[in-house]
């Protein structure tokens, strides 16, 4: 069984358009997951016991749930629980993947905050800083410094997980690839194009992340 390059050529444009949907779903997921995750990470460490316990329960729940299970549950169960409330496939994908990502972001942010010695905040207060100033100039920069690398890695993973949206009929790249295969019976060529597209989009991100990690490590060594 040889390669059918005509099928590959004819399928390339539809798969490129579907890849744009994959990218938009990933961007929406990252925005939602980051905003919600940061809020959850902060709330989980607040002095308010009710808010803290609630945020911790949310984080642990969505850390335990597979993203695929969340997507399927939202897509098929929400209309049964709330009749008339129907999310589109795209919205459901962003919501489900965003909820899953938020738990990981919250865990990363929580770890970054816990890594800061409490004495540094106390020193900031002693120098006359207000609570907001201490958070802005002491807490946030250090949390970002400790968290941005694992966050970037999580975002790349989220991009790869966006193909899960195919199970709820979102016309992203994997769903489109399966539709083309059903018509052409050429899985080798179509899945090869899908793999190629992910390689050329993810590999530069991985290389950039490693480069930034080396620069960050060198910066830390210079400070020492």
* pTM, 2 dp: 0.89
Q: What is the pLDDT of residue 54?
A: 96
SS in 3 state form for 129-145? CCHHHHHHHHHHHHHHH
Q: What is the pLDDT of residue 1?
A: 58
- C-alpha of 45 from chain center: 22
The model's confidence at residue 21, banded by pLDDT at 50, 70 and 90, is: very high
What residue ranges in the chain does DSSP mark as E strands? none
| Whether 205 contacts 158, CB under 8 Å | no
Q: List, in order of start, the domains of the chain with CATH numbers.
A: 5-223 (1.10.3720.10)
Q: What is the end-to-end Cα distance of the chain in Å, rounded?
A: 60
Per-residue pLDDT tens over the stretch 183-207: 999 999 999 999 999 999 999 999 9
Per-residue pLDDT tens over the stretch 107-140: 999 999 888 887 777 777 788 887 778 777 778 8
Q: Which helix (H) or strand (E) holds 75?
A: helix 67-81
Q: How far apart (Å, rounded) are the C-alpha atoms in residues 23 and 176?
A: 14
Overall average pLDDT of the 47-54 stretch: 92
Q: What is the pLDDT of residue 84?
A: 81
Q: Which helix (H) or strand (E) holds 74?
A: helix 67-81
Tell me the helix, strand and coil percentages in the chain, rounded to 5: 85, 0, 15
On the question of pLDDT at 223 being above 60, the answer is no
Got the DSSP string for 49-63? HHHHHHHHHHHHHHH
On the question of pLDDT at 105 being above 70, the answer is yes
pLDDT above 90 as % of the chain: 66
Q: Which helix (H) or strand (E) holds 36?
A: helix 5-43
The dihedral region occupied by 84, where left means phi > 0, alpha psi between -120 and 50, and beta the remainder, is left
Angle formed at CA 147 by CA 142 and CA 152, multiple of 5 degrees: 140
Q: How far apart (Å, rounded) are the C-alpha atoms in residues 61 and 55?
A: 10
Report CA-CA distances (Å) from 147 to 56, 139, 222. 19, 12, 20
């Amino acid at each position: 069984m040889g390669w059918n390059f005509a099928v590959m050529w004819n399928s390339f444009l539809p798969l490129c358009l579907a890849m744009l949907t994959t990218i938009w779903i990933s961007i929406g997921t990252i925005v939602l997951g980051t905003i919600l995750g940061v809020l959850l990470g902060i709330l989980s460490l607040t002095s308010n016991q009710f808010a803290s316990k609630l945020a911790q329960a949310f984080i642990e729940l969505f850390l335990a749930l597979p993203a695929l299970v969340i997507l399927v549950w939202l897509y098929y169960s929400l209309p049964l629980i709330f009749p008339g409330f129907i999310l589109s496939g795209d919205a459901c994908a962003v919501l489900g993947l965003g909820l899953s990502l938020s738990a990981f972001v919250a865990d990363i942010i929580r770890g970054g905050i816990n890594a800061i010695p409490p004495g540094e905040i106390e020193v900031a207060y002693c120098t006359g800083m207000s609570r907001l100033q201490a958070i802005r100039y002491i807490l946030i920069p250090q949390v970002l410094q400790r968290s941005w690398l694992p966050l970037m890695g999580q975002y790349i993973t989220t991009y790869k997980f966006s193909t899960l949206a195919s199970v709820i009929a979102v016309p992203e790249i994997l769903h489109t690839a399966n539709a083309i295969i059903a018509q052409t019976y050429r899985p080798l060529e179509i899945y090869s194009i899908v793999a190629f597209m992910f390689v050329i989009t993810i590999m530069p991100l991985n290389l950039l992340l490693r480069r930034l990690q080396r620069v960050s490590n060198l910066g830390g060594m210079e400070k020492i």
